Every structure is written in structure tokens, then in C-alpha cells.
Amino acid sequence: MNVLPVAAGDPAPRFVQRCTTRWGHYSFDMAAGRYSILFFFPSTLDPCAARALSVMRARAAQQADGAVVFFGVSADSADETRIPVVTGGESIRFFRDADRRVHDLYGIGVGQCFWVVVDPMLRVCLSMPDAPGVAARVLDHVMRLPPVQDGPVPALMLPAVLEPAFCHVLMDYYHTHESRPSAVLTRGADGKPVNIIDSGFKSRRDCLLRDGDLVRQLQARIIRRVVPEITRVFQCTVTRMDRMVLGRYDAAEGGCFGPHRDNTVPGAAHRLFAISITLNDDYGGGELSFPEFSSRGLRPPAGGAVVFSCALLHAVRPVTQGVRYACLPFAFNEASMAAAREASAPLTG
Ligand SMILES: O=C(O)CCC(=O)C(=O)O
Ligand SMILES: [Fe+2]
């Protein structure tokens, strides 16, 4: 257990805990991109909790834009029945923390009513014990903050990775080969990785590049034009690539991809860098965004790439006009493969 409560400037500990979501748990690293207000309390029967929660519920109901997410963290197993599963709104959720996992990670003693505010980068920006009047002060303060920090995005923009003729070769390949709705790799209720189709979250059709010669031509360009920049900018040597896939986001189908990270489920833990190469220019919307850092959207020119750490939360904004084509490999190396294998190995002995 953390002996002291987390304090402003600390990274907010990440965790997966049982929660009042439809699917029964919540991975806190998905709370990035917005402010989160965590209220730790011993039980809903505790008078301090009752008071603070009524303020929290009222503010959650007031805000229309969902810019702030409220989380109650209950240490009482009997709250399981007092706090029912929330099926609708996403702006207020409760962690079922009778095993104290979150309390311990945040250094909050059981029996305390305590506030922790986490910023869009998942860093603690305020932490204080509850007292009369504190709930309203904390919530007013957070709701007045600008929605994101609008700092620089730690991604690399590289124009001219693929020349126009090669972009056309890839788009022609797409048109002459089978494509299918792109699935989201996520965790099922049992924690195991599953592929699901959820067109509200991800609407894209993918075509796998199966032509060995074309894959070699594509890889040659990435090795020559992207890999040295990854070495220079991120001081990391990548030696492998996977997922040689072409994606098509169509405005007519609401083409988009919601906020996600690319390395969070076991089968994807080896990935180090995402290389998003846009193949065309004649579309509207479809910018890549990094909601932890900025509200700005990135839009590389045709043939240009955005290269970024797979650990960053990112999204593709809805394509509003026409179609966006992209080639979307991941880069990694032997060390990241070994680390992923180790992390997924069953504990023995
Ligand atoms: O379309 C893009 O540029 C990014 C796609 C993406 O984030 C992914 O496939 O994981
Ligand atoms: Fe991604």
C-alpha cells in the first residue's frame, strides 16, 4: 500500500476494478482525456459520504458535455446492493472496492472520505480529505478548468513516407481484394482478449496485405524512412513490424475509431510504435487526435505518417466527407516481444 495519499504531480495509479459499468469492471487508463474526480468513502451509509455523493450526483447531472467524469470508490461490500448497476450515463460511476485495491494504490486509509482529482493525462492535480463544504469547492474548481491542457502531442509527423504512385498501388490493392469490418481487440468479462465489432466505436473496413512482394516494398520504405527517425527521436531500435493492413474509413458509414491504446491487451503488449500512414487527401474530418494532450487533430498529407507510442490514448475523428485510406502497421523489437511473453506467462512455483 502507498503509505501517503497520492499528491498533486504524481501519476495517478492505473488499475482495473469492478465497477458499475454494463460490463462489470472498468480500466482506469480509459479515463484519460478528461478530468476525473475520485471520491473515496467507507460506505454510502457514512454521513460524510451521503453529503458528498449528493453534491456529486447533482453536478454530474448538470454537466451536459461529459468533460468531467465522477467516480465514487466504495470500501463497503454491502454497497453492492445499495448502488445498482448504472446502465445509462457515463458521467458517474462507482468502483466496488471492498478488496481495497484502489484505496491501497492511492494511499487512502479505509474509514476516510477523500477527494482525488486526476487530469486528462492521468496525473493527480488535487488531493484532499473531505470536510463540510469541500465537495462543492472541489467540484466547482474542476468544472471551471479548461477541458484539456492543449500541450504538444508527443507524436512524430513524417511527410513523404510513401510516394503518390505507391499510395495508389495500395489503394488499388484495397479495391481489388476482400475487406471486412474491422474488429476491436478488447478484454471480455473474464479478462481474456476478444475481438468485437462495435461500429459506434470503430467503423472501418480492413484489407490485409497478402501479396509478399507488396509487403516487402512497403516495409522497405518504412525501414528506410521511418525506422531511423524512431531511433533518433525516441532512442529506440525497432526491428519488427506486424499488421500489414489497409483501412478504409467511409463518411457514408460514419467512419471513425474511438479513443483507445494499442498495447493494453495481452496479444498486443509487444507493440511499441503505431505507424499510421494516410494514403489520400480527398476526405474531410478523420484527423488523428491524442485526447490526453490536446484537442488538436493531426492530419498528415497523403503518403505521410504519424508515428507514436502504442501506450498513448488516440482516436480517429469521424470522417465527414469522402473516404480516408490508411496503412496501419505496428513496429516493435525482440526485447518488447520477450517482455510481453514474460508478462503473460502464468506464475509458477
Ligand atoms: O487510422 C489511423 O490512423 C489509426 C488507426 C488506429 O489507431 C488503429 O488501428 O489502432
Ligand atoms: Fe490505434
Could you report the per-residue pLDDT of 1-32, keeping only the tens digit for each? 667 899 999 999 999 999 998 888 899 999 99
Closest by CA position to 336, among listed 246, 244, 242: 242
Looking at domain 156-339, its CATH class is mainly beta
Q: Is the CB of 329 under 6 A from ligand 1?
A: no
CA atoms of 187 and 176, how far apart (whole Å):
33
Task: Calculate how far, in angstroms, residue 273's C-alpha sits from the geometric centre of ligand 2.
Answer: 10
Residue of 174, 328, 332 best suited for mutating to test ligand 1, as the one with most atoms within 8 Å of CB? 328
259-289 pLDDT, tens digit per residue, is 999 998 878 999 999 999 999 999 999 999 9
Q: Is the CB of 268 under 6 A from ligand 1?
A: no
Residue of 153, 208, 250, 257 best suited for mutating to test ligand 1, as the one with most atoms within 8 Å of CB? 257
Which pLDDT does position 86 carry in this prediction? 61
Q: Nearest ligand, CA of residue 248? A: 1
Q: Is the CB of 49 under 6 A from ligand 1?
A: no
Task: Pick the residue whose CA is nearest to atom 3 on ligand 1.
Answer: 276
Q: For residue 92, what is its C-alpha cell?
A: 458517474
Task: Calculate how far, in angstroms, residue 202's C-alpha sits from the geometric centre of ligand 2.
Answer: 10
Which pLDDT does position 88 carry in this prediction? 46
Which pLDDT does position 346 carry in this prediction? 60
> Domain coordinates of the chain in residue numbers?
16-144, 156-339
Low-confidence ranges of the chain (pLDDT < 70): 1-2, 85-89, 189, 191, 346-349
Which pLDDT does position 87 carry in this prediction? 46
Which pLDDT does position 3 carry in this prediction? 76
Q: Is the CB of 73 under 6 A from ligand 1?
A: no
Which pLDDT does position 303 carry in this prediction? 98
Which pLDDT does position 135 carry in this prediction? 94
Ligand 1 closest atom vs CA 182:
9
% of the chain beyond a pLDDT of 70: 96
Domains 16-144 and 156-339 share a fold: no
Which pLDDT does position 57 carry in this prediction? 86
Q: Which protein residues have their CB within 5 A of the ion that is ligand 2? A: 262
CATH number of 16-144: 3.40.30.10
